[in-house]
């Protein structure tokens, strides 16, 4: 642990701060996936969170932590969609202005939703890094407050509240599978879960196409990876070469990282729909996909986080019919 790490007490404080602003989502058993794994499998239904993803936890905590002067200036972020959506919602609740910068790769459905939530949108460049440069400019020139999607202590602590719920709902969890991109969710959940239940393992799951945290962990320091289109679009983007918190927390707290190809992610979305009767986006399906692909060992009760549901429904229909992943993987 380094001095900058987000601790269990930070996460407990976050929970107090966001109580009443986010849902406590259910965790339910999956008899079907338990059969696949050979151990009890539970699904944490966080895709049912307000705004359709766990990102509302971190956004609500970060906004509630601002002082009055900061609230008056308004917030800004770069986002592949769900963070922007969460910030827009949380800022509106607080009566604040939110500006969201995003790249041209962001799907139209996510953009429309953020606009509907009342945020200002700026579309810049072809990558998360280009969008981030616009954020930096607005911070420097207009004095807006930046709330990044993952590498911020209040964001990580907010996401960690999901981990507290998991251990309350499945006290004997042996393993938690967490969708992994920038690592705010994985760092927060691992800090919470291991803080309360040190013997529980936490494993991150990413898509093979552009897995920045995995490449960085292998290299021993943050590295750049090429951004590629993937069904798990919410897992796209780098971790930042100047990463402050999530790289070291993931290095110290995660027991492993699993990578999945596009066919495997499509199978996860399809399984969620047909067997579990849940609509999830690609990023939200990776924990299910890891079990279906046989990439997880049975060590005891296993909790899979379904992290989001904000998928374009035309794409969802194609995936369920077995078409779309072939296009996106081409
Ligand atoms: C942001 C996001 C993730 C990844 O979270 P990180 O904190 O960036 O690792 C996973 N699933 C969904 C649905 C997301 O929106």
Spell out the domains of the chain, with CATH numbers in brackets: 8-54+152-329 (3.40.50.1100), 56-146 (3.40.50.1100)
Alpha helices (runs of H) in 65-183, residue ranges in sequence order: 68-73, 82-93, 108-116, 128-142, 153-169
Give the range among 2-11, 36-45, 262-271, 293-302 with minimum mean pLDDT. 2-11
* Mean pLDDT over the full length of the chain: 94
Distance 180 CA to ligand 1 centre (A): 6
Q: Decide: 243 in ligand 1 pocket, CB within 6 A.
A: no
Compute the distance between CA of residue 98 and CA of residue 74 in angstroms, rounded to an integer.
Answer: 6
Distance 198 CA to ligand 1 centre (A): 24
pLDDT given for residue 89 in this prediction: 95
For residue 30, is pLDDT > 90? yes
- DSSP letter, residue 44: E
Name the band, by pLDDT with cuts 50, 70 and 90, for residue 325.
Answer: low
Name the band, by pLDDT with cuts 50, 70 and 90, for residue 328.
Answer: very low
Compute the distance between CA of residue 314 and CA of residue 328 in angstroms, rounded to an integer.
Answer: 14
Q: What is the mean pLDDT of residues 106-123?
A: 86
Compute the distance between CA of residue 132 and CA of residue 83 in angstroms, rounded to an integer.
Answer: 13
Atom of ligand 1 nearest to the CA of 150: 7
Q: Decide: 58 in ligand 1 pocket, CB within 6 A.
A: no
Name the band, by pLDDT with cuts 50, 70 and 90, for residue 329.
Answer: very low
Q: Which residue has its alpha carbon closest to ligand 1 atom 7?
A: 184
């Amino acid at each position: 642990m380094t001095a900058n790490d987000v601790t269990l007490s930070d996460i407990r404080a976050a929970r107090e701060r966001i109580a009443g602003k986010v849902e406590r989502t259910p965790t339910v058993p999956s008899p079907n996936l338990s059969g696949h794994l050979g151990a009890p499998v539970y699904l944490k239904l966080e895709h049912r969170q307000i705004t359709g993803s766990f990102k509302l936890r971190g956004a609500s905590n970060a906004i509630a932590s601002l002082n009055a002067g900061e609230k008056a200036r308004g917030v800004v972020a770069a986002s592949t969609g769900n963070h922007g959506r969460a910030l827009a919602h949380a800022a509106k609740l607080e009566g604040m202005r939110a500006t969201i910068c995003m790249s041209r790769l962001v799907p139209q459905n996510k953009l429309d939703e953020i606009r509907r939530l009342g945020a200002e949108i700026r579309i810049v460049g072809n990558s998360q890094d280009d969008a981030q440069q616009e954020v930096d400019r607005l911070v420097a020139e207009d004095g807006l407050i930046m709330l990044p999607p993952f590498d911020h202590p209040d964001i990580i602590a907010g996401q960690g509240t999901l981990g507290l719920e998991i251990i309350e709902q499945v006290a004997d969890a042996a393993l938690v599978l967490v969708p992994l991109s920038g690592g705010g969710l994985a760092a927060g959940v691992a800090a919470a879960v291991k803080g309360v239940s040190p013997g529980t393992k936490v494993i991150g799951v990413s898509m093979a196409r552009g897995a920045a945290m995995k490449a960085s962990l292998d290299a021993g320091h943050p590295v750049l990876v090429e951004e590629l289109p993937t069904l798990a679009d919410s897992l796209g983007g780098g971790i930042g070469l100047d990463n402050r918190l999530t790289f070291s927390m993931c290095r110290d707290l995660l027991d492993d990282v699993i990578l999945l190809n596009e066919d495997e992610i499509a199978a996860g979305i399809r399984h969620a729909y047909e067997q579990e009767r849940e609509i999830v986006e690609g990023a939200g399906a990776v924990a299910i996909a890891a079990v279906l692909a046989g990439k997880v060992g049975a060590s005891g009760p296993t909790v899979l986080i379904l992290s989001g549901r904000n998928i374009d429904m035309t794409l969802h229909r194609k995936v369920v019919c077995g078409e779309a992943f072939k296009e996106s993987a081409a």
